[in-house]
Structure formats: C-alpha cells, structure tokens
Amino acid sequence: MLFVGPHVSIAKDISLAPVRAHELGATGFGLFTKNQRVWNAPPLSESSIVSFRQNMKEYGYTEKAILPHAGYLINPASPDKDLWDKSLSLFLDEASRTVSLSLNTINIHPGAYKEGLREDGIRRASLMMDEVLRSTPGIRIAIENTAGAGTILGSTFEELDALLEAAAEKDRIGFTLDTAHLFGSGYDIASDPDNVLDSFFSRFGKEKLYGMHLNDSKVPLASHKDRHESLGKGLIGKDAFMAIVSRPEVQGIPLVLETIDESLWKDEVEMLLTAQTDTRG
C-alpha cells in the first residue's frame, strides 16, 4: 500500500494529527511530537496519547504509515559538548514521545560538525544515535539526507553509509530520502529518478529506506540549498514523483509531503495515489 500524506500540524493537541491527515485524504502522514523549535515542552498528557491512538485506529492508520520528525534544534554532530548534551536529552525525549504514541520510527537530521574533521562529526552523530537506541527500546532512527550546505552531514550516499557504519546499533538505523535534498546535493532525481533510487538500493538494500519526503525544489541541481516547492511546480517536476510512487520499494513506507502550499496538499495526495493506480493499470 502507498502511504502518502503531508506533515500535519499538531496545533491545539497532537491527537488531532490523524484527523487532519484523514481530512486531506492521506493514507499516511508526518508530524512533530512537540514544538520543533524549543528545547523544553510539557510532557504529552495521557488523554492526548489515548486520543491520538484512538484517532489512529478510527481512521485506519498504523505505525507503518507515520513518520515523526525530530526537532530542528538537535545537532548530533556538534563539537560543543554542552550543545551535544542538550541535543541528546532532547532527542531522548522526542524518541520517548514517539514510542508513547505507539509509533516506531523517528526522523533525524544528522547535523553539522561546525569545525574540525568531518569524520569526528560522523563519530559524534553515530554515538548519539546509539545512545538513543539503547535507551529507547522499540524505536528506529531514520537519518535524513541533506542538501550539503556548509558542514552539514549526510548529503551523499557515501556519507550516509559512513554514519551507519560508525554506529553500533546498525539494525535499527535506516534512512529518509528527501527528494529536494537529493536534487540540491547533486543527485538528478528530476531527469533519472530510477537511477538515483537504484544507486541507493544497490548500496543499502530496500529495507534501509524507512521513508521519503516528497518535495519539489525551488533551487537548481547541485545548488547545495534546501528550498522546497509544491509538486510539479519546481525544478524536479511532476514526472519524477510519478516515477517514484510507481516503484515497488516505496510501498509500505511513509511518503511525506513537506511542500510549501498547504492548500494544495489534498490535490498532491490525490495526484500521487492516482498515479500509483494508473501505473499499476
């Protein structure tokens, strides 16, 4: 089954996320488990957790269709010990929130190493992931690829591989491929999406693709910038997304829209679900 939907708001209460996704015709969705731009947030209430689970069940969503996203303040590669420790505490909290919602995967940016050697940043990022996995039974981590600006890690398949190889808990680490980030980092997902995906699968296998972020791009190939656009309105183009959702490897994993115009989300979901049906005949 194709699990596709937007990254929905948790405003007012996190339990409303499945309701909002359902209203858009989504078969899956993404969400934050707290405000993504603050260090501290009150714990999820038991009533919110129960209501979230009830709404998931009512609208037919399972954990396979949902991809929670860790907050933006977390920097697993940071050379600053205080910031690294704060990032670890926040990552642990968000992983715990994810499990409390009966979800099993959390998406994380690998972070920026800021100074010194890239290899040291990779080591620090992998160490943090190991700490989270050891402390949080039942969770998996999906490392999101990046566009590769500055000292940000994760812009190439080789670097994603290095992050995985440096970790001890390899069995519970996989990846989220963001199409806009692939394009920005130099992978021509627009002209030849099959070749890009085949390159990923030949290195990692299909079991390591935990999810995708389907975003068009405002900026050119290999720009090393991250500027999302609505599907078909950017430089990647509609045909590439049609090709992606036709791949058997993306069945059964969350395909999350982080596109910029919320008024188009319902149409984008319908387009992708229709494309899958048309491709299958």
Q: Which residues are catalytic?
A: 37, 69, 72, 109, 144, 178, 181, 213, 226, 228, 258
DSSP code of residue 42: P
Q: Is 190 within 8 Å of 240 (Cβ atoms)? A: yes
Distance between CA atoms of 232 and 212, rounded to whole angstroms? 17
Break the chain down into helix, strand, coil percent, rounded to 5: 45, 15, 40
| Nearest residue to 28 via CA among 52, 1, 54, 50 | 1
47: left (phi > 0), else alpha (psi -120 to 50), else beta? alpha
Is beta strand 173-178 parallel, antiparallel or unpaired with respect to 228-229?
A: unpaired
The label of the residue with tokens 């992998």 reads 126
Distance between CA atoms of 20 and 29, rounded to whole angstroms? 9
Q: Is 26 within 8 Å of 259 (Cβ atoms)? A: no
Distance between CA atoms of 18 and 58, rounded to whole angstroms? 9
Distance between CA atoms of 250 and 86, rounded to whole angstroms? 34
Q: How far is CA 97 from the centre of its chain?
A: 16
* 132 residue type, one letter: V
